[in-house]
Structure 1
Amino acid sequence: MFADVNVIIHKALTDQSSVSKRLTSNLTGWINRCYSIHPVESSFQAFMNEFAENIFTLKGIYGVWIFGQSPDNPGLKLIASCAEINKEDHAVLTKSFRRGISSLEEPWKIVSRNFRKSQLFVGRHQLQPDNELSVFMLPGFNIDGKVVVVIVAEAELEELFTGTLPGMFQNILEYSKLRYENTDSIYRLLVENQNELIVKVDARGRFLFVSPTYCKLFGMDPGQLIGQSYEPLIHPDDLEITASAMKQLDHYPHTCYVEQRAQTVLGWRWLAWSDKAVLDDNGNIIAVIGVGRDISEQKKIEKELVESELKFQKAFRNSPNLMSISRMSDGLILDLNDKFLSILQLPREKIIGKTTVELGLYSDIPRIKIQEQLKQYGRIEDIEITMTRLNTKIEGLFSSEIIELNGEKCLVSSFNDITELKSAQRELDTYRIHLEGLVEQRTARIREVNEELDRFAHSVSHDLKAPLRVMQGFVNAIIEDHSDNLDSEVLKYLHRINKSSLQMEALINDLLQYSRLSSLELNLKAVNPAIALGKTLEILSDEIGAKKAVIVVADELPFVRSYMPVLVQVFTNLISNSIKFVGDGIIPKVLIKCRIKDDKVHIIIKDNGIGIPPDKQKRIFDVFERLHGVESFPGIGIGLTIVKKAMERMGGEVLVKSSPGKGSEFILVMQSVK
């Protein structure tokens, strides 16, 4: 607002006559002085005095009178004046101006020209040659009522006073009013929107003012509180401490602070008050202004901290570990628990204030490592160190964490005695080494036994096969050379002998194969089942052709962790059984498919054979277990036993699903290779 008025006045003056332009030289300073008046901090009287003096400093001004009329006093009262004349003349002019104001109708009016007593003002300025002075009267309105400024000035300033100064004067008065009103409203708005509690009480503690926040907290209207004492609202146990704190208001700086409980709509709440005394001219307390806030949550946290500290102290004292608190800056021990004292066998006073180095407690502690970890993470955990005390070594796990006590960084440390545990561990290590030696010896012995068994199996196989071959040779020779001379019954017996010898040879081969599976060292690696299946089909090509069997591979077979020769044997035994065990007149059909489940490869071999009853499905993997007679289906009952053993040796398993007359599914479960 000031800048706009400044521009308007400056423009108006610069557009005036040559006489008006003389005012331009000190215009800015004069305007700034007018607007620098602070009516909020000073009385309206002081404001008007300053305004009159500022007007009087202008060139061409010979006298200034300011009259005021308040709403409760309709009479005009001289508020301020500036004129270099004697008292008698001043009184006469004042009376004359008061009469002129009473008949004033226009905002600005020239009461007289060619002022007859212009010689009264000769002492201030040299008059203009025409010796003309005029009287200008300017009415305005302020918060205190009507204000009229009377100015005696050179007649040449008429245009200035009638064109510019009226608006400026009213702006200044309105600014004064605005300052008062804004300050009052801002103060009220500030108080009403404060979260803090604001009250004013008299010297006897009776409320003079209560903020809306205070009323809301206590659930009362201002009318219920004004004139009443605040004491009934305070907890009885806090009245004494409140009264003691209030006594501090009698002494400089006349402030006090108190925390008290008060009965509110929320129940008993903790309130913190900062009070300031209001003094009269004699230094006596006439009122107290208090600003309070609800600190119940803070008190709750403080209580929880105290309880937490008590729990920490209890845990610290009663811990089965060796607990200590030391200062980080110099390593001095500040406290330690009873367990620690019992180990050190020293009184507390001989330990407090010393360092672990002075006490010679830790002989192998990695101090640099601990310091680096504490600096980086603020804590360390379970570092194995050895404590030495009274020529005894105590092994333990050392942990430490940075905490703050009374504004100083400290370490709370724990030493967990694991001496007995370490001793037991060393004994276990001794037993483990001993057991490993025994296992190694036993493994070597088992290896020797397996080698002996392998040699024995080969020997037995050779020794058993030799007579069989001789027997087969004689039987075949007799049949070939003397079949014409032998009757049919003898030939029948000879063929049965030959068949039995062949069966015996197959049994010996299977037993040898089963024995090798138990002792064979398998080098498991990634194997392509499709290749193993191809080798199997080559081996079984004669059987497949004889039975006109149909073999279908429905899915691509992924790599598995296996051993190629053994996997070929597994495929051979299963597919051979599928071709063999079918009903009369039925063409064998074998479907091979694959599924991946839980990182396992499931290779499924499904046939259309005679099936297996559910109650006999577990027995088929036992040695020499046959479900059908040799006359119905040839075989010796060890093929599936070899399959089960082979799958176990390769880290897998074989499962079966079957129903009589509906065929069988054999599922090979093996580890996949990614």
Structure 2
Amino acid sequence: MHNTNRSWQKSYGIAVLASGLALLFSLLISPLLENITFSVFFAAVVLSSWYGTRGSSLLATLLCSLAIALFFLEPIYSLNILALDGSIRLGLFAIVSLLTTELNAAWRRTELKLRESETRYREMAEAVQNYANELEERVADRTAALLEANKELETFGYSVSHDLRAPLRSMQGFAQALQEDYSHCLDSDAQDYIQRIVASAERMDGLIQDLLDYSRLSQVEINLGVLNLTDILTEALNQLEVELRSRQAQVNIEQPLPEVTGNWTILIQVLVNLLSNAIKFVPANRQPTIRIWAEIVGGDGKDTGTRGHDGDTGTRRGRGDTETQRHGDTQRVFDNFFASPRLPLPASFVRLWIEDNGIGIAPEHQQRIFNVFERLHTQESYPGSGIGLAIVRKGVERMGGQVGVESIEGQGSRFWIQLQKFSMKT
């Protein structure tokens, strides 16, 4: 409050002092320079406006106007101005002084707003910086927590793969030894129990391995490179040689197969799981037939019209004419059922298809089969862990791709994986 009073006294004191000095100076020089009088008083108004306030500038305008009227316009010492020229000059002085006062007041308001804006900007910048620092600290904390969680998962994976599987294998080995060495001492029920123990141990070991594979896909850092699909499929089929021969399955690979961007180990694991299902989920009285081809699709997944099966066909396993005819019929059913207009789009992805003549999948189950532990059939009908297709989806997604299925229940399924097409520009 004290500072406010002092500022008010200072601004109005400047107005009175400037007006008085202007009057004194004008009285001294008016005999010599008559035309400079108004300029001197206007300088007093400007000085009051610059160093004072709007009120002090108005006071200076009033005091200077009175001084001009009393001491420099006829009649002297009277406010009754007779000359028209004097009245006009005094009026112009008052108008110009008032305009100067208002302009200076507007400039001060603008300057004040700019200072307030600058202050708010600095406060906002400081707040943003503080928030950024806080967010960075949170990210660092979360990153550290995730790294710690990954270490714990790695430790858990090691424990599962070694500490838990070791006693499981011991149990399996002792059961097999009991079956081999003492089967003559056991009745049929006891032998059946031992066989169930061995089978359950094998299933549990396979389940643990699948869980480890799925967990590893979520954590391991992968490197992508150019892959030849023909080489990948050859390796995957070699790993399934026993299953293919036991079911007398035929695999038709339709060339050409383009190169894709992916990871060698993961893509082989994905194809082994898909091909294994194509062999497994086929009725016992039907010879498994697997057809593999590739097509180039656009960025939105639509077929561009370039299909691998327009080229030559390589047959992995032989079969009879009757079975070939039935496979052709199944293919025509699929093509008619899923037919859709194909538009030319920029080719940037490769979609690899694996078609079987198995039991098919009902429409309501075609999405959930890619979840972990999703099984549509009993263990006795079609053995498995229920993780294979989850591994397929996780592996393909880690390589930046997509996976899907088209299926007709009772006639077969078409699984597809979509990966980025290898290009020299990438």
**Structure 2 length normalisation: TM-score?**
0.59
User: Which structure is higher in strand share?
Assistant: 1
- The alignment status of 1:531 with 2:294, answered yes or no, reads no
Aligned with 2:210 (options 510, 514, 521): 510
Question: How far does residue 504 in structure 1 lie from its aligned partner after superposition?
Answer: 0.7
Aligned counterparts of 1:557 and 1:441: Cα–Cα separation in 2: 46
Aligned with 1:617 (options 348, 366, 369): 366
Aligned-CA RMSD value:
2.6
Aligned with 2:107 (options 341, 344, 359): 344
- Equivalent residue number for residue 229 of structure 1: none
Letter in 1 for 2:158: H
Q: Deviations over 1:517-567 (max 9, x none)?
A: 111112233333333222211211111121121122213332323222111
Letter in 1 for 2:135: L
CA contact (8 A) 1:540 1:576 kept: yes
Aligned counterparts of 2:227 and 2:131: Cα–Cα separation in 1: 40
Aligned with 2:351 (options 602, 605, 618): 602
Letter in 2 for 1:670: L
Q: Deviations over 1:591-619 (max 9, x none)?
A: 11112222222111111111001111122
Aligned counterparts of 2:371 and 2:246: Cα–Cα separation in 1: 29
- Equivalent residue number for residue 655 of structure 1: 404
Aligned counterparts of 1:582 and 1:562: Cα–Cα separation in 2: 30
Q: Which runs of structure 2 are paired with 1:95-134 in the superposition (5 Å)?
A: none
Query: Structure 1 residues 421, 342: CA separation in 2 closer, same or farther (over 3 Å shift)?
Result: farther
Question: How far does residue 441 in structure 1 lie from its aligned partner after superposition?
Answer: 2.8
In the alignment, structure 1 segments of 5+ residues that lack a partner are: 1-339, 348-388, 395-416
Q: Which runs of structure 2 are paired with 1:264-343 in the superposition (5 Å)?
A: none
Aligned counterparts of 2:136 and 2:378: Cα–Cα separation in 1: 49
Question: How far does residue 463 in structure 1 lie from its aligned partner after superposition?
Answer: 2.1
Question: How far does residue 460 in structure 1 lie from its aligned partner after superposition?
Answer: 2.3
- Equivalent residue number for residue 417 of structure 2: 668
Query: Structure 1 residues 500, 390: CA separation in 2 closer, same or farther (over 3 Å shift)?
Result: closer
Query: Structure 1 residues 463, 608: CA separation in 2 closer, same or farther (over 3 Å shift)?
Result: same
Aligned counterparts of 1:424 and 1:554: Cα–Cα separation in 2: 63
Q: Which runs of structure 2 are paired with 1:260-659 in the superposition (5 Å)?
A: 344-345=107-108, 424=124, 427-598=127-298, 599-659=348-408
Aligned counterparts of 1:530 and 1:422: Cα–Cα separation in 2: 62
Aligned counterparts of 1:581 and 1:560: Cα–Cα separation in 2: 28
| Percent of aligned positions that are identical | 44
Query: Structure 1 residues 494, 559: CA separation in 2 closer, same or farther (over 3 Å shift)?
Result: same
- Equivalent residue number for residue 253 of structure 1: none
Pick the structure with greater CA Rg.
Answer: 1
Query: Structure 1 residues 602, 420: CA separation in 2 closer, same or farther (over 3 Å shift)?
Result: farther
Letter in 2 for 1:468: L
Letter in 2 for 1:522: I
Aligned counterparts of 1:530 and 1:342: Cα–Cα separation in 2: 83
SS of aligned partner of 1:654: strand
Letter in 2 for 1:585: N
Query: Structure 1 residues 431, 483: CA separation in 2 closer, same or farther (over 3 Å shift)?
Result: same
SS of aligned partner of 1:595: strand
CA contact (8 A) 1:454 1:515 kept: no
Aligned counterparts of 2:104 and 2:231: Cα–Cα separation in 1: 75
CA contact (8 A) 1:608 1:662 kept: yes
SS of aligned partner of 1:634: coil
SS of aligned partner of 2:184: coil
Aligned counterparts of 2:106 and 2:240: Cα–Cα separation in 1: 80
Query: Structure 1 residues 622, 343: CA separation in 2 closer, same or farther (over 3 Å shift)?
Result: farther
Query: Structure 1 residues 518, 341: CA separation in 2 closer, same or farther (over 3 Å shift)?
Result: farther
Query: Structure 1 residues 421, 553: CA separation in 2 closer, same or farther (over 3 Å shift)?
Result: farther
Question: How far does residue 481 in structure 1 lie from its aligned partner after superposition?
Answer: 1.3
Letter in 1 for 2:356: D
Question: How far does residue 427 in structure 1 lie from its aligned partner after superposition?
Answer: 3.5
Q: Which runs of structure 2 are paired with 1:102-251 in the superposition (5 Å)?
A: none
Task: Please identify, of 507-516 and 544-553, the stretch whose mean Cα deviation from structure 2 is larger.
Answer: 544-553
Query: Structure 1 residues 496, 523: CA separation in 2 closer, same or farther (over 3 Å shift)?
Result: same
Q: Deviations over 1:105-151 (max 9, x none)?
A: xxxxxxxxxxxxxxxxxxxxxxxxxxxxxxxxxxxxxxxxxxxxxxx
CA contact (8 A) 1:524 1:563 kept: yes
Task: Please identify, of 656-665 and 481-490, the stretch whose mean Cα deviation from structure 2 is larger.
Answer: 481-490
Letter in 1 for 2:363: P
Aligned counterparts of 1:661 and 1:391: Cα–Cα separation in 2: 77
Letter in 1 for 2:400: G
User: Which structure is higher in helix share?
Assistant: 2
Aligned counterparts of 1:594 and 1:650: Cα–Cα separation in 2: 17
Question: How far does residue 428 in structure 1 lie from its aligned partner after superposition?
Answer: 3.0
Aligned counterparts of 2:393 and 2:269: Cα–Cα separation in 1: 11
Aligned counterparts of 1:498 and 1:346: Cα–Cα separation in 2: 91
**Structure 1 length normalisation: TM-score?**
0.38
Question: How far does residue 511 in structure 1 lie from its aligned partner after superposition?
Answer: 0.8
Aligned counterparts of 1:498 and 1:612: Cα–Cα separation in 2: 31
Relative contact order (C-alpha < 8 Å, sep 6+): which is higher? Answer: 2
Aligned counterparts of 1:342 and 1:640: Cα–Cα separation in 2: 77
Letter in 2 for 1:509: Q
Aligned counterparts of 1:661 and 1:546: Cα–Cα separation in 2: 22
SS of aligned partner of 1:553: strand
Letter in 1 for 2:253: V
Query: Structure 1 residues 574, 500: CA separation in 2 closer, same or farther (over 3 Å shift)?
Result: same
Query: Structure 1 residues 450, 611: CA separation in 2 closer, same or farther (over 3 Å shift)?
Result: same
Letter in 2 for 1:605: I
Aligned counterparts of 1:540 and 1:444: Cα–Cα separation in 2: 42
Letter in 1 for 2:379: V
